[in-house]
Structure 1
Amino acid sequence: MSPVPDSSDDGFGGALLPGARPAVLVIDLMRAYFDPASPLCLPSADCLPSAGRVIAAARDHRVPVLHTRVAYGPGGVDGGLFVRKVTALRQLFSGGGAMGELMPQVSPAENELVLVKQYASAFFGTSLASTLRAERIDTVVLIGVSTSGCVRATAVDAIQHGFVPLVVSEAVADRAPGPHEASLYDLQAKYAEVISEARAVAYLSEER
């Protein structure tokens, strides 16, 4: 199944043009998604090298990079119904320990913000929108996990907040091919531009 609709003739899949002031948002690339001991572990870590290259391009051209991670207070007191529905998140109670660490391939630089969130969208309950607006950001390049969960939720909230979302297809991943491909298809149809790593790197490398 192709992740991108063939046309916009049916009223979906119109084009969003990337803006002049992008930021890269690295979503939840935590050990919990790559350690076999974790119930959240993905079947492959193939998205990490791609994500690393996107981050490197951003840093090389002074494009802001922001990171998110998930962590909860003792007993998941701030996790609400979400941690009841997704019981695998219990390993991130009390800060998450080692499972809450960001992967070394995409670790934040000293000057890069790390937002801690409790729910799927990076915008929900965080300062992300106000931070982006303060920096006059108009476009967010999304990389991370999972495609059908936090990436999708963040892309939907991005467009609702007035930011152009660009989802880098090689730099996102999910627990199975089905939800990954279906989410990319639907994101392209309604909420975002799904782009290749090469296109993302070229965009981030433009003179500004």
Structure 2
Amino acid sequence: MTSHPVTALLLVDVINSFFRPGDPNYYPQADQVLEPIRQLLDKARASGTLVVHTAERHREGIYDFEWAKLPVHHIEGDDTIDFVEGFGPLPGEPVVYKRRYSAFYATDMALMLREQNVSRLVTVGVKTNCCIRATVQDAFAGGFEPVVVREATNSNRPHLEEASLEDIWRYFGQVVPLSEGLELLA
């Protein structure tokens, strides 16, 4: 491991479903993360830091085990799974589609990051207590250093958000303010 970790910015589920009123997973607090994410995204792109987008996708007409816990959602071809305008991938920015909460489970995320020599992930998006926590836990288990930017993630269940951030800080990685997240992407 080098003394200067190679960092990537990981955007988790910055898709219409969470941010567009009336869509299945929308909650008003989600909008609060967009400006901090925009700042981090602009900084990463300006500095040449790898930006990775991840989004949940499920297949039309194919049973998914997740339906046992949640209503059917994020079906391929539905516009709820489109990236929020202005937050989608630019050419050269990889997209990793996932069928579970974690961006690492049953995807090629770890392989792709290792091939880019990434060791630290600045992770942002929604929801802190679900997809962010699961992704961070699996990143840690896979030998990556997770960093969550506090202002760039939230949940519609604040008590679970706070508990998840405490767990992340205590057991898996760092929880940092926006200013530190921006420094890590310089």
Aligned identity (percent) is: 28
SS in 2 for 1:125: coil
Does the 8 Å CA contact 2:11/2:123 hold for their aligned counterparts? yes
Q: CA deviation at 1:36?
A: 2.1
Q: CA deviation at 1:201?
A: 0.5
Paired residue for 2:113, among 128, 132, 139? 132
- Matched residue, 1:83: 67
Does the 8 Å CA contact 1:159/1:191 hold for their aligned counterparts? yes
- Matched residue, 1:14: none
SS in 1 for 2:58: coil
Structure 2 residue 165 is matched with structure 1 residue 184: yes
- Matched residue, 1:142: 123
- Matched residue, 2:33: 47
Question: Whole-Å Cα distance in 2 between the matches of residues 161 and 130 of structure 1?
Answer: 10
Question: Whole-Å Cα distance in 1 between the matches of residues 4 and 46 of structure 2?
Answer: 19
Aligned length: 183
SS in 1 for 2:133: helix
Residues 76/35 of structure 1: CA separation in 2 closer, same or farther (3 Å cut): farther
Question: Whole-Å Cα distance in 2 between the matches of residues 70 and 59 of structure 1?
Answer: 23
- Matched residue, 1:70: 56
Could you give the per-residue CA deviations for residues 76-109 of structure 1, whole angstroms, max 9, x where no partner exists?
43x22x122111xx1322x051100111132211
Q: CA deviation at 1:165?
A: 0.1
- Over aligned residue pairs, what C-alpha RMSD do you find? 1.4
Question: Whole-Å Cα distance in 2 between the matches of residues 149 and 204 of structure 1?
Answer: 25
Does the 8 Å CA contact 1:19/1:164 hold for their aligned counterparts? no
Does the 8 Å CA contact 2:123/2:146 hold for their aligned counterparts? yes
- Gaps of at least 5 residues in structure 1 are 1-17
- Gaps of at least 5 residues in structure 2 are none
Normalising to structure 2: TM-score of the pair?
A: 0.94
Structure ID, larger Rg: 1
- Matched residue, 2:46: 60
Q: CA deviation at 1:142?
A: 0.3
